[in-house]
Chains A and B, each alone.
Chain A
Amino acid sequence: MSKAEGWRRRGPLLPALIFTIVITQLPFLVTIWYSMRNWNLLRPDGNQFNGLQNYVDIFRDSTFRSSAVNSIVITLGCVFFAMVLGIIFALLLDRKFRGQGVVRTMLITPFLIMPVAGATLWSISMLNPSFGLVNWVISLVGIPPVDWTSQHPIVSILMALVWQWTPFTMLLVLAGLQSQPKDVLEAAQIDGAGWTKTFFWVTLPQLRRYIELGVLLGTIYVVNTFDQIYLMTAGGPGTASANLPFYIYQRAFLGFDIGQAAAMGVVVVIATIIIATLALRLIFRSFDAKD
C-alpha cells in the first residue's frame, strides 16, 4: 500500500480520533498531575508537589474501600438482575399475541425516562416511608412499612437502577431472539426437545454474544452511576451507599480536596482498565470469531 493510499484510508478516521484523544485523554493526564499535589482549596497554603502521598492516604481510607465494594455490588447486582429480567421479558415478547406492540412500548419506557426523574420518582413516590406506593402495596399483604432509602439504601438504589436498565438488556436480547434462525428451533421441537432443553441448549448459546454485549455496555454505564445515588440517598446514611463516582465527587466538590479526589480518580481508572481489558479481550475474541 502506498503512503498516499494509506493516508486516504486513515484520513476519515482522524477527526474523530483526534477529538476523542483531546477531550478525554488530555484531562486525564492533568488529573494524574493533580493527583501528585497536596491541593485543598480550603487550605490557602496548599498546592505543593507531594509525590505519591495521596495514593498512600487512599489505601488507608476505609470509606474509599467501602465505596469500592459498593460500586462492585451495585454494578454486578444491577447488571445481573437487569439481564435476568431482560431475558424473561424478551422471551415473553418474542411471540405473537394481542397487544404485543403496546406491551413492548410499556416495557421500554423506563429506559427513556430521564434518570434524574426516575431517581426522584423511586425515592419519593415509590419508596417514601409514609406515602410511598411500595409500602402501600406491601401493607396489603400485612407487611409493616419500611423506610427503604435509609434502612436499605443499596437495595433502594438497585430497584431504581434495575428498573431503568432492564429495557436496555431486554431490547438487546429481543434482537438476538429475532435474529435466531427459526428452523433450528423447529428442528429441536421435532426432535422432541422440551421447552427448557430448547432454551438452555439452543436459544441461550445463540444469544451468547447479545448477552455478553449487554453485560459489557451495561457495566460501562452502571459503574458510573451518579444520578440515583446523588438523588436517592446522597451516599447515605453516612457513607453507607456511596459508590466511587459519588465519593470522588464529594471529595472534589464538597470537600474541595482536589489532590485526593484526583488520586482516587486515577486509581479507579487503572482498576477499570485492568478489568476492562480482560473482559473486552474475551468478548472481542468471540466477536472476531465470526469476522
Chain B
Amino acid sequence: MTTTITPPATAPVSAERKSREARRRFAGSSITTLTWLLAFVFFAPVIWLVMTAFKPESAAASNPPVFFFVPTFEQFEAVLANGAGAYFLNSLIATGLSTVLVIVLAVPASYALSIRPVKKTSDVLFFFISTKMLPVVAVIMPIYVIAGQIKVLDNIGTLVVLYTAMNLPIAVWMMRSFFQEVPAEVLEAASMDGAGLIKTLRTILIPMVTPGLAATALICVIFAWNEFFFALNLTAANAATVPVFLVSQMTSEGLFLAKLSAASVLASLPVVIAGWVAQKQLVRGLSMGAVK
C-alpha cells in the first residue's frame, strides 16, 4: 500500500513516519501470529486424529492424553487386514462413475441454460436447486421398496444413480456460471463456421472452462465419497462403501480408538489430498458457481 502524499523533507516528520511504520509492522505481525494460533486450534482435532491413529491402543484412550509415544503402523495394518480394500473399491466405483455421469449430464444442460438460454431459465435453475431441498429421508422409503422389487438393493449401480441425482443440481449451477464467462463472440464465430453442438462443446467450450470443470468434479467427488445415508440404508455386504465400513469398525467389536482413528484417516485421505492439491479450483468453484 503506497501513500500518495509526499511528506515535507523535514527530520521530525520523517521520524514520526518511521514510528508509524514500525507500529504498523508490529500490528501486522501480531495479526499473523493470531491467524496461526487460530488455525492451529481449528486444525488440532485433525492433528489429534492422525496422532491417535499412530498410537498403540493402550496410549489412545488414556487420561491424561499421551502426547509422546513411539509411532506404530500396527493399526493401519489391522484395518487393511480387516478387508478395507473391498469397501474402498466400492467407494471408488460409486464416486468415479457418478461424477462422470454428472459431468456428462450437466455440461449440455448448463450450456443450454447459459449460452443459448431456454425460456424460463431461472425457473429451471430454481427447480434444480429445489430438488436439493427435498430431504432425502422423504424419498428413502420408496427408493428402498422399489430397489427391493427390481432387485438392486446392495448394488453399486443404485448408489451411482442416486449420487448422480444428488450432485447434478449443484453441478448444473456451477457449470452454468463458468459457461457464462465465455464471450458470446467466440460462439458466434463457431456457429458461423457451421460447428454443431458437440463440436462447439468439444473444441471450444470445454477447453475454455477446464478449471471450472475440475472444480465441479471435485465438489461432486467430495460429496459422493463422503455420502453415508443412502449407503447405510441401501447396501449390505456387496456394495457397502467406506463410510459404512468406518461405522462397522466402531460398532462390531467394541471400541478400539486407535484402530478407528487409523480407519478414519484412511477413509478421509483420498478427498483430503484431492482437496489440498486442488484448493485453487475449490475456491473458484464454490464462488463462481455461486455468484455469477
A binding-site residues for B, Cβ under 8 Å: 8-13, 15-17, 19-20, 23-28, 30-31, 34, 88-89, 92-93, 95, 97-99, 103-117, 120-122, 124-126, 128, 130-131, 133, 136, 163, 166, 168, 171-172, 174-176, 178-179, 186, 189-190, 209-210, 213, 217, 220, 223-224, 226-227, 230-231, 244-245, 248-249, 252-253, 258, 261-262, 265-266, 268-269, 272-273, 276, 280, 284, 287-288
Contact = CB atoms under 8 A, between A and B. Distances in A.
Interface in B23-49: 28, 31-32, 34-36, 38-40, 42-46, 48-49
A280 B126 contact: yes
B138 A171 contact: no
Given A106-B43, A110-B46, A227 B109 contact: no
Q: Most chain-B Cβ atoms within 10 A of its Cβ — which of A93, A98, A124, A189?
A: A124
Contacts of A104: 279
A245 B109 contact: no
A51 to B, nearest CB: 19
A9 B109 CA distance: 10
Contact-residue size bin, chain B (C-beta under 8 Å from the other chain): 35 or more
Contact of B106 (A16, A30, A116, A265): A16
A99 B36 contact: yes
B189 interface: no
Contacts of B83: none
A175 B271 contact: no
B246 A17 contact: no
B228 A115 contact: yes
Q: Which of B118, B142, B242 has most chain A Cβ within 10 Å?
A: B142
B64 A245 contact: no
Nearest to B5: A190
Contacts of B267: 114, 116-117
B31 A92 contact: yes
Interface stretch (B10-18, B70-78, B282-290): B282-290
A19 B255 contact: no
B279 A108 contact: yes
A252 B133 contact: no
Chain B interface SS verdict (over half): helix
B135 interface: yes
A166 B161 CA distance: 29
Contacts of A112: 222, 268, 271-272, 274-276
B141 A262 contact: yes
Given A114-B268, A249-B229, 10 more contacts: A12-B197, A13-B113, A15-B105, A17-B124, A89-B42, A108-B275, A112-B274, A125-B52, A172-B287, A244-B135
16 contacts: A15-B105, A89-B39, A105-B279, A107-B43, A109-B275, A112-B272, A114-B243, A115-B226, A116-B246, A117-B264, A120-B260, A171-B283, A172-B286, A244-B135, A245-B137, A252-B140
Contacts of B135: 223-224, 244-245, 248, 265, 268-269, 272
Contacts of A89: 38-39, 42
Contacts of A262: 138, 141
Contacts of B36: 99, 103
Contact of A110 (B45, B134, B137): B45
B45 A163 contact: yes
A75 to B, nearest CB: 12
B94 interface: no
A186 B1 contact: yes
B197 to A, nearest CB: 6
A101 B76 CA distance: 29
A2 B52 CA distance: 66
A145 to B, nearest CB: 9
A39 to B, nearest CB: 10
Nearest to A250: B137
B143 interface: yes
B112 A11 contact: yes
Nearest to B32: A97
Contacts of A92: 31, 34-35, 38
Nearest to B233: A253
